[in-house]
Structure 1
């Protein structure tokens, strides 16, 4: 083989190695990006599952109240919607925002 042919071959090998390295780095970047996305979506899913559990508990409480005695329903509406209280009862309001 001639010298120029060997030189061209060496240049192509270097080019191929650089190209391969760039492809690997690109794949690594995509993998890391996907892992970050998966992690954030998992946190979002956990938060939504917690909200679902809270809403289900609230729905069960409403169902229990509404399936009870009509006087209990009236009392609940008076307490919850209008802030009424029974005689000699104190109502404490949480103003901390938590």
Structure 2
């Protein structure tokens, strides 16, 4: 009996190299995307924390300004502290000495 040899196509080494390069590129892209997602998630968590803090501050201001008398007290406090205002006839003393 005579055996027939069948030659199998082993493929080109260039094709194998191209597939290997594509797989390496795909793996690198996947790792890079995961790192970017992790960084963006950390940024999102920080921004959400800042948002919660600001919402608490806004709620406190809103509660403190609900009444007209509270609004007047707040305006007076801001005027005295930030704008250096004083009531009519009031004397304000400024300490110009050094801090000991």
Q: What TM-score do you get using the length of structure 1 for normalisation?
A: 0.64
| Distance in structure 1 (CA, Å) of the matches to 2:10 and 2:33 | 36
Higher helix share: 1
- CA deviations on 1:30-86 (whole Å, 9 max, x unpaired) are 011101110111111011101110111111111101213x222221222245318xx
Structure 1 stretches of 5 or more lacking a match? 1-5, 85-98
Give the RMSD, CA atoms, in angstroms. 2.2
Larger radius of gyration: 2
**Highest RCO, 1 vs 2 (Cα 8 Å, sep ≥ 6):** 1
| Distance in structure 1 (CA, Å) of the matches to 2:79 and 2:51 | 24
Instruction: List, as ranges, runs of 4+ consecutive aligned residues in structure 1 with deviation greater than 4 Å.
Output: none
Alignment correspondent of 2:77: 79
